[in-house]
């Protein structure tokens, strides 16, 4: 199945540092989403982006929908130990919201050292 190109694959940072990860695609998406998955759990939605160029924040998280609609990035500022987990980007081709299937990135594993 199709996957998005997500980088970096893993990150090891110190508590308090900022983090940035991104996703790219050869196809245009109408919606970009960012999820966090803890071990043995399902993904939890962090931020949803619906318009090209859109910049959205959720607490210490900021994400942007690329102008070309083929990329997105997620920034985490002032990281804390509970930010540890795997972050996935996901895209949707259409505008049908929840009825539309998701294409996931390969994930970025984040480790935060206290």
Partner 1 sequence: GAVVSQHPSWVICKSGTSVKIECRSLDFQATTMFWYRQFPKQSLMLMATSNEGSKATYEQGVEKDKFLINHASLTLSTLTVTSAHPEDSSFYICSASEGGEGNEQFFGPGTRLTVL
Return the range that interacts with partner 1 (CB under 8 A); candidates 15-23, 59-67, 75-83, 102-110. 102-110
Longest dimension (CA), the chain: 41
42 is a site residue for partner 1 (CB under 8 A):
yes
Q: Using the rule CB under 8 A, is 43 a contact of partner 1?
A: yes
The encoded tokens of residue 36 equal 């966090």
Distance CA 57, CA 76 (A): 10
Q: What angle do CA 35, 2, 12 make, to 5 degrees?
A: 45
Count the residues of the shown chain that bind partner 1, applying the rule CB under 8 A: 24
- Is residue 41 within the footprint of partner 1 (CB under 8 A)? yes
Here the tokens at position 72 are: 């997105």
Which one of residues 66, 85, 91, 105 is an interface residue with partner 1 (CB under 8 A)?
105
* From 88, 91, 110, 112, residue interacting with partner 1 (rule: CB under 8 A): 88
């Amino acid at each position: 199945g199709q996957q998005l190109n997500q980088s970096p694959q893993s990150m090891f940072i110190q508590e308090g540092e900022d983090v940035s990860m991104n996703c790219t695609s050869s196809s245009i998406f109408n919606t970009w989403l960012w999820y966090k998955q803890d071990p043995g759990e399902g993904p939890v939605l962090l931020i949803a982006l619906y318009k090209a160029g859109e910049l959205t924040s959720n607490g210490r998280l900021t994400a942007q929908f690329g102008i070309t609609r083929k990329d997105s990035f997620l920034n985490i500022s002032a990281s804390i130990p509970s930010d540890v987990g795997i972050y996935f980007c996901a895209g949707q081709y259409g505008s049908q919201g929840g009825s539309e299937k998701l294409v996931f990135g390969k994930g970025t594993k984040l480790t935060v050292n206290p």
